[in-house]
Structure 1
Amino acid sequence: MKSNVVKLLSTAAIAATISAGAAATTLEDVKKKGFIQCGVSQGVPGFSNADSNGNWTGIDVDACRATAAAIFGDAQKVKFTPLSAKERFTALQSGEIDMLSRNTTWTYTRDTSLGLDFTAVNFYDGQGFMARKDLGVTSALDLDGATVCTEQGTTTELNMADFFRKHNLSYVPVVVQKADEALAAYASGRCDVFTTDKSGLAAHRSKLANPGQHIILDETISKEPLGPVVRHGDNQWKDIVTWAMFVQVNAEEMGISSKNVAKIKKESNDPGIKRLLGAEGDMGAQLGLSSDWAYDIIAEVGNYGEVFERNVGPSTPVGLPRGINNLWTEGGVMYAPPVR
């Protein structure tokens, strides 16, 4: 009897191994269908936002496009699925999307209990509060008794509760399903204050009728490292999404942009640059990609500085300074491992 049980268990183990080995990887699935299905927000200017013609732009959108450029040599081979905060993780877990790039905060619980993996941080942020100037509030510590709007299914709910509890302040939460609903509730006067990541506050303020009548308070009450998320267990896919971001950071540090990448690839004698751009060696093979994978990312999407400036930089309606998102060589924390 014992030998039969062992035999049955061994057979089951072998079958499971064969089944797991036969399962297609995310890269294989993506190549087969010819595009990446990317989960994004339902509309946060500068991060993931669609215009009236359905054209998507933003930092998170560019993370998807950079991954597409690495795989296909074409940044346009992406389809976007707008998701609420509540829907986003289920959509990734179920396979409805291939990657999630939706201003999503990397936390311990999310990283360890949802069957998901965070990749690289594409924006370092922190939660804050926005209020009308005529409310007369100059500090978050003045918000005792305030009514506060926020979105359901986000880290902002717990951060908000922690902040008010820590400072022994009372508040009335108004929690809604979508970010635009929270903004509408705030704009209509249903709540005194709107809270989310500070980048999100700047983005949403740009959508208000009179942005200048609203102030983002100075206090930052949390750490919000934002970045793309993939399913746990497919290391190759995680590496591709991660290194698509690292390529952009390294490119900016090396002075390589979408405007000069072709010239630099042709003329540079720098070994690090030659490796990065595929002029020497074949770093792409380690990811199952072509030797031009990094070159294509830079040529099609740009370096990290270009992505930041065109989506959320000072010349955009969002109008954010680089700040902490500057390169480490410029006093920020953007730092990528070398391609070698």
Structure 2
Amino acid sequence: MTEKAELLGVALLVVLLAFTGLAPAAQPTDGKTLISVRARGVLRCGVSEGIEGFSSRNAAGQWTGIDVDFCRALAAAALGDARKVQFVSLRTAARFPALVTGDIDVLSRNTSWTLLREAALKVQFAGVIFYDSQAFIVPANSGLRSATSLKGATVCVQKDTSTMNHLVVYSTALDLRMTPLVMESADDASDAFLSGRCTAYTADASYLDALRLHAPGGAAAFTILPERISKEPLGPAVRGNDDAWLTLVRWVLLTLIAAEELDVTRENLQTRLRDPTVEQALVPDDTVTRAIGVEPGWTLRALQSAGNYGELFDRNVGANSPLGLERGMNGLWTRGGLMYAPPLR
């Protein structure tokens, strides 16, 4: 499958939605999503079927992860209560239809921001919550140390993702003649790889880290090869034509980043607000709040729910999590990363 094939698949989805009367053209007008969320009293958040660190259920059956905590912060901002979220578990192929048809209010499901998705499906991405990249994983005892050593190999890959396109482009460019083994879901692709049906598995590097952690033999039994073959900026997405909702979702995320820039945490929030500079940076004026349609204090409610971006990262995928990922590109811009928040003023 090439990029043209993915475009065809997206086009077919648009045609199907139009045929059923649920096309992207029938999108909400500005502010309607927030009105619906408030009338319902619950935010419907589309998440994965289970990716550790991003969206998965713990032993108690509770949803956890960076995408999950973001939705709780959004619910706190929109509804005043971080608990008022319904998490909707979605397969990859179902994520955009669920968003476009209104089954969910926001898609927070380790989804890459691309022009194709915005232009063809009329969805809009609110920002980047995690900068990722596509990688390969192999058994540690395979002797493979580079993606270029996968020439002629069978590589597991998930259907209905841009991952497949990147694999084909990379293989063709380097004349590696890899054979994709395309599986219906991430779990199917993982099972195929772990059972030896393919030499390697390609997916987002963060997903491969999570896979390695729980695979037979543990993390030491598998190696993630050093090559990164694509950029994968993951972030929340909403339906088009509702700028007020997009603004709220975007600025909840940016508020978490801005708070980290100011060293404002969930614990010290109330104390730091005594500083007029901090208050000005984190609390928008009433005119802006009225324009969005939320109750005053929405940025502070989001922060009280999730903490700043660094706290969100560390407890779910970083130093305080089983994954133990380094900040890297997801560090603040002042520390060599890409995370940067425009001013609220």
TM-score, normalised with respect to structure 1: 0.90
Partner Cα separation in structure 1 for residue 285 and residue 29 of structure 2: 34
> 1:263 aligns to what?
271
Question: Which amino acid is 2:62 matched to?
Answer: N
Is the aligned partner of 1:41 residue 2:48? yes
Alignment of structure 1 residues 71-150 onto 2, 5 Å? 71-150=78-157
Partner Cα separation in structure 1 for residue 27 and residue 329 of structure 2: 42
Alignment of structure 1 residues 1-340 onto 2, 5 Å? 25-210=32-217, 211-265=219-273, 267-270=274-277, 273-278=278-283, 283-340=288-345
Partner Cα separation in structure 1 for residue 146 and residue 27 of structure 2: 55
Whether the 8 Å CA contact 2:155–2:181 is kept in 1: the answer is yes
Partner Cα separation in structure 2 for residue 22 and residue 312 of structure 1: 36
Deviates further, 278-287 or 22-31: 278-287
Per the TM alignment, residue 22 of structure 1 is displaced from its structure 2 partner at its CA by 8.6
Whether the 8 Å CA contact 2:27–2:239 is kept in 1: the answer is no
Per the TM alignment, residue 287 of structure 1 is displaced from its structure 2 partner at its CA by 1.5
Q: What is the SS of the residue equivalent to 1:300?
A: helix
Partner Cα separation in structure 2 for residue 22 and residue 38 of structure 1: 20
Q: What is the SS of the residue equivalent to 2:208?
A: helix
Partner Cα separation in structure 2 for residue 20 and residue 131 of structure 1: 43
Per the TM alignment, residue 260 of structure 1 is displaced from its structure 2 partner at its CA by 0.4
Per the TM alignment, residue 317 of structure 1 is displaced from its structure 2 partner at its CA by 1.8
Q: What is the SS of the residue equivalent to 2:131?
A: strand
Per the TM alignment, residue 281 of structure 1 is displaced from its structure 2 partner at its CA by 5.5
Per the TM alignment, residue 65 of structure 1 is displaced from its structure 2 partner at its CA by 1.1
Task: Count residues in correspondence.
Answer: 319
Whether the 8 Å CA contact 2:53–2:66 is kept in 1: the answer is yes
> 1:6 aligns to what?
none
Q: What is the SS of the residue equivalent to 2:92?
A: coil
Per the TM alignment, residue 120 of structure 1 is displaced from its structure 2 partner at its CA by 0.8
Where do 5+ consecutive residues of structure 2 fail to align? 1-25
Partner Cα separation in structure 1 for residue 272 and residue 126 of structure 2: 28
Q: What is the SS of the residue equivalent to 2:338?
A: coil
Q: What is the SS of the residue equivalent to 1:27?
A: helix
Question: Which amino acid is 1:25 matched to?
Answer: K
CA shift in 2, pair 1:44/1:279, >3 Å: closer
Whether the 8 Å CA contact 1:143–1:169 is kept in 2: the answer is yes
Partner Cα separation in structure 2 for residue 22 and residue 44 of structure 1: 33
Whether the 8 Å CA contact 1:147–1:174 is kept in 2: the answer is yes
Per the TM alignment, residue 54 of structure 1 is displaced from its structure 2 partner at its CA by 2.4
Per the TM alignment, residue 217 of structure 1 is displaced from its structure 2 partner at its CA by 0.6
- RMSD of Structure 2 on Structure 1 (CA): 1.8
Partner Cα separation in structure 2 for residue 182 and residue 21 of structure 1: 36
Q: Deviations over 1:280-335 (max 9, x none)?
A: 75642232122211111111111100000000003322121000110001111101
Q: Deviations over 1:42-90 (max 9, x none)?
A: 0100011112432111111122111111112221111111111111000
CA shift in 2, pair 1:310/1:157, >3 Å: same
CA shift in 2, pair 1:241/1:21, >3 Å: closer
**Deviating runs (4+, > 4 A) in structure 1?**
19-24, 279-283
Whether the 8 Å CA contact 2:31–2:244 is kept in 1: the answer is no
TM-score, normalised with respect to structure 2: 0.89
CA shift in 2, pair 1:293/1:282, >3 Å: farther
Deviates further, 113-122 or 312-321: 312-321
Q: What is the SS of the residue equivalent to 2:203?
A: strand
Partner Cα separation in structure 2 for residue 89 and residue 30 of structure 1: 19
Whether the 8 Å CA contact 1:164–1:170 is kept in 2: the answer is yes
Question: Which amino acid is 2:238 matched to?
Answer: V
Identical aligned residues as a percent = 42
Deviates further, 50-59 or 194-203: 50-59
Deviates further, 248-257 or 202-211: 202-211
Partner Cα separation in structure 2 for residue 215 and residue 226 of structure 1: 23
Whether the 8 Å CA contact 1:277–1:292 is kept in 2: the answer is no
Question: Which amino acid is 1:314 matched to?
Answer: A
